[in-house]
């Protein structure tokens, strides 16, 4: 069944996308406004596609996606377009201490925890309801899931602004102290999702420091100034390859914290966020199934990796009576 609505000025459509092995139905929501068309799945909160026009006025898909539910289940490792939680990025040793109690979470990347564990939010089917301008997904993560404390109630709204920008607004509450770090793991290729490498895109990031990491991508401590290093994107330049690092976003930035541009098509992506960090990942580890290395660039707005074990980093602790609130806006234009 397909349902079209006109709540707000965004055209909204929902349809059955597929069925999991246990019989759970997965739906796809399509949002369209001001030339932008976005498709969101209730499975994993996945951004399946984002279509925007280029300099020539022709609309193309600029987010790496997969054609069907079976493909998302088969290629779960790259986290194509998923909503990551309860904790995005890594937790060293798959454990942390909170209020004097040690919590052991799922080890799913060597000895460490990454992106919510074996069955994180990216592998859950979310409840969906229409909201002005888009769709709101929600779920409840029970106390002890993947080792995390607290019953966490989460909602994430995907909406289109009047200029066609994709706004992702996250909220969460808990009944016991816990840690939370949510992000969208969308890969961008502004030349088109099937166009090949995105390494030639031009990138700017308003970040004077990064959190340096060891061979397991765990922060080593301290903050590294980007001056004179390959991490200096304060002036726009070609992305290149070899990045899976968290950038410490400059505070009090007036406007977007990042801008990505494909010179060929003229498409420009801007990122505005309330988060203190952004993970730049150039997907060098893709093996051609189904995308080649560097086929897309992830710009994951988030708190820092391993923050539960790094008291010097911005806190990811959420307590009863508090609300986790985070917003990231992906804007689209041409030049």
Give 122's DSSP letter: G
Please say whether the beta carbons of 224 and 211 come within 8 A: yes
What backbone torsions phi and psi does residue 146 show, to the nearest 5 degrees?
A: 55, 15
**Active-site residue 300, yes or no?**
yes
Phi/psi class of residue 221: alpha, beta or left (left: φ > 0; alpha: ψ in -120 to 50)? left
Return the number of other C-beta atoms located less than 10 Å from residue 251's C-beta. Answer: 7
Q: Assess contact for 206 and 234: CB atoms under 8 A.
A: yes
Separation between Cα atoms, residue 41 and residue 57, nearest integer Å = 27
CA 45/CA 70 separation, integer angstroms: 15
C-beta atoms surrounding 123 within 10 Å: 16
Helix (H) or strand (E) holding 333: strand 324-334
Catalytic residue among 113, 185, 201, 303: 185
Q: Provide the terminal-to-terminal Cα distance of the chain, rounded to the nearest Å.
A: 39
DSSP 304: P
Q: Is 109 a catalytic residue?
A: no
Three-state DSSP at 123 gives: helix
Q: How far apart are CA 198 and CA 233, in angstroms?
A: 16
The Cα–Cα gap between 176 and 28 comes to 33
Catalytic, out of 136, 145, 275, 300:
300
| Torsion angle of the four alpha carbons 313, 314, 316, 320, in this order, in degrees rounded to the nearest 10 | 130
Cite the active site residues. Answer: 185, 300
């Amino acid at each position: 069944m397909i349902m079209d609505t006109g709540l707000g000025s965004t055209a909204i459509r929902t349809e059955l996308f597929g069925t999991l092995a246990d019989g759970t139905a997965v739906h796809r929501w399509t949002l369209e406004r001001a030339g932008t068309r976005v498709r969101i799945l209730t499975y994993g909160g996945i951004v399946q596609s984002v279509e925007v026009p280029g300099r020539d006025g022709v609309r193309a898909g600029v987010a790496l996606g997969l054609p069907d539910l079976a493909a998302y289940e088969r290629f779960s490792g790259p986290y194509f377009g998923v909503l990551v939680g309860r904790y995005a990025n890594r937790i060293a040793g798959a454990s942390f201490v909170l209020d004097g109690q040690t919590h052991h979470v799922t080890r799913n990347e060597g000895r460490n925890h990454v992106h919510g564990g074996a069955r994180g939010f990216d592998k859950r089917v979310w409840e969906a309801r229409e909201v002005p301008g888009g769709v709101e997904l929600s779920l409840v993560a029970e106390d002890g899931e993947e080792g995390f404390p607290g019953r966490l109630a989460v909602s994430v709204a995907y909406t289109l602004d009047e200029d066609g920008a994709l706004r992702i607004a996250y909220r969460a509450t808990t009944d016991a102290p816990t840690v939370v770090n949510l992000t969208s793991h969308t890969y961008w290729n502004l030349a088109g999702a099937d166009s090949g490498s995105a390494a030639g895109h031009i990138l700017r990031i308003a970040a004077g420091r990064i959190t340096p990491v060891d061979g397991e991508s765990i922060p080593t401590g301290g903050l590294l100034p980007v001056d004179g290093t390959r991490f200096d994107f304060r002036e726009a330049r070609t992305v290149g390859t070899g990045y899976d690092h968290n950038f410490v976003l400059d505070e009090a930035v007036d406007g977007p914290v990042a801008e990505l541009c494909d010179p060929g098509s003229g498409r420009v992506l801007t990122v505005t966020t309330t988060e203190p960090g952004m993970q730049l990942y150039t997907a060098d580890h893709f093996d051609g199934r189904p995308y080649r290395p560097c086929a897309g660039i992830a710009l994951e707005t988030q708190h820092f990796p391993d923050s539960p074990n790094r008291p010097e980093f911005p806190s990811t602790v959420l307590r009863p009576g508090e609300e986790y609130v985070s917003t990231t806006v992906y804007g689209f234009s041409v030049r």
